[in-house]
């Protein structure tokens, strides 16, 4: 191999170094729990947080890589993916810190919970940089299946079981719809799986496949809208948020949503460039519906977690405005909004966790007199 080839292969590995650090952290957590058992539960969360912070540092060091493509173009480590991957990793680090006392009080294994959360983080990070159809779907399923497991983690709580079952059934349906949209895209491009190659093939085509492309667009937007809980694909959100363990809800509302927006930008801006006007129109409608319904229905809630669920639906509408703008300033505003939302939302859920640990309830009426 010549010198330039060696440099290219090194950059190839550097691109997924942050994910490699998360994988090593995940294996360390699993092995330590296997060998030491419950004795290690006092410091294992901090090991996971350290690994996630090291991953964020690796992401910072890979800013402005000269060759961000890796694995034959199936993963892109460009600056956009670096920012979204950092948001996912940071939201997990904060969530693990919030969940230590909560999970221990429930009597379930903290190490297993952290392992599942790190697996979900890995799926979310890979989804943020995926630029190939198979990798997009595998990363999405890795994130989704881990989320289903976390949602039903409190096995003794019937609400947690109900939330997990609802999430699994609706999530499986949305994944099937999303996969059908991807398969149409694969067929229209003549068997291409790389997003950039698909875009080139479609733009070079005669436009006869515009109906097929429109159908593919509708199915893919349905899958993405489920992930970011946009109206009218939001029905799962209030029930799942209310029944799930609170730290899981905190992660779903920030980490999972950030990954959803990252893949929305990657897929829609690249592969669906010929139908930009159409998807802008669809997302405008979704944004308006999400902002109106999310904020209005939140007013009538009696459960704090349900109110925060409708709030997150409304927030998704605000973030979509940046996507609809379609400019660098628009995408920058999305990222800035998500970064602020990360700390504000996780802060709100930290307060809900602290309150529920003392009182055992999340009813808004029970918060009366808290100011004293």
Average pLDDT in the chain: 88
Q: pLDDT tens for residues 55-77?
A: 999 999 988 877 777 777 788 88
Taking 80 as the threshold, does the pLDDT of residue 2 lie above it? no
Q: So what's the pLDDT on residue 4?
A: 57
Who wins on pLDDT, 310 or 363? 310
Q: pLDDT tens for residues 267-310?
A: 998 888 888 888 999 999 999 999 999 999 999 888 888 999 99
Task: State the pLDDT confidence band at 219, using cuts at 50, 70 and 90.
Answer: very high
Residues in a beta bridge with 75? 70, 130
Q: Give me the percent of the chain exceeding a pLDDT of 90.
A: 50
Q: What is the dihedral of CA 341, 143, 94, 51, to 10 degrees?
A: -130
Q: Which long-range contacts (CB under 8 A, 24 or more apart) does 3-12 make?
A: 8/67, 11/65, 11/66, 11/67, 11/70, 12/67, 12/70, 12/71
Quick one: tokens of 39? 């004795």
Taking 70 as the threshold, does the pLDDT of residue 93 lie above it? yes
DSSP state of 363: B
Q: So what's the pLDDT on residue 7?
A: 55
Dihedral sign from CA coordinates of 294, 140, 45, 105: positive
Taking 60 as the threshold, does the pLDDT of residue 94 lie above it? yes
DSSP state of 303: B
């Amino acid at each position: 191999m010549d010198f330039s080839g060696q440099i290219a292969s090194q950059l190839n590995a550097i691109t997924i170094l942050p994910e490699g650090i998360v994988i090593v952290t995940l294996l360390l957590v699993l092995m330590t729990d296997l060998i030491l058992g419950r004795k290690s539960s006092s410091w294992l969360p901090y090991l996971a947080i350290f690994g996630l912070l090291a991953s964020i540092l690796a992401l910072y060091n890979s800013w402005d890589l000269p060759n961000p493509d890796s694995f034959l173009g199936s993963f892109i480590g460009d600056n956009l993916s670096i920012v979204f991957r950092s948001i996912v990793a940071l939201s997990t680090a904060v969530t693990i810190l919030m969940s230590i006392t909560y999970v221990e009080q429930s009597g379930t294994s903290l190490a297993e919970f952290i392992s599942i959360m790190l697996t979900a983080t890995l799926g979310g990070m890979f989804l943020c940089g995926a630029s190939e159809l198979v990798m997009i779907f595998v990363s999405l399923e890795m994130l989704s299946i881990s989320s289903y497991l976390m949602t039903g983690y409190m096995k003794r709580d019937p609400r947690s079981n109900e939330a997990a079952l609802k999430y699994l059934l609706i999530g499986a349906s949305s994944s099937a719809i999303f996969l059908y949209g991807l398969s149409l895209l694969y067929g229209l491009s003549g068997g291409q799986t790389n997003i950039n190659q698909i875009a080139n093939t479609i733009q070079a085509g005669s436009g006869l496949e515009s109906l097929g492309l429109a159908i593919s667009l509708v199915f893919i937007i349905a899958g993405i809208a489920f992930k970011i809980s946009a109206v009218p694909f939001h029905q799962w959100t209030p029930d799942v948020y209310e029944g799930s363990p609170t730290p899981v809800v905190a992660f779903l509302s920030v980490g999972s949503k950030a990954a959803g927006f990252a893949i929305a930008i990657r897929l829609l801006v690249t592969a669906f460039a010929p139908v930009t006007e159409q998807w802008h129109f669809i997302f405008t409608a979704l944004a308006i519906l999400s902002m109106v319904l999310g904020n209005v229905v939140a007013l009538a809630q009696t459960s704090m977690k349900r109110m925060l669920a409708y709030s997150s639906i409304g927030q998704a509408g605000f973030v979509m405005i940046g996507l609809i703008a379609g400019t660098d300033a628009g995408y920058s505003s999305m990222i800035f909004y998500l970064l602020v939302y990360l700390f504000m939302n996780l802060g709100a859920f930290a307060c809900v966790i602290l309150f529920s640990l003392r009182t055992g309830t999340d009813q808004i009426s029970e918060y009366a007199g808290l100011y004293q």
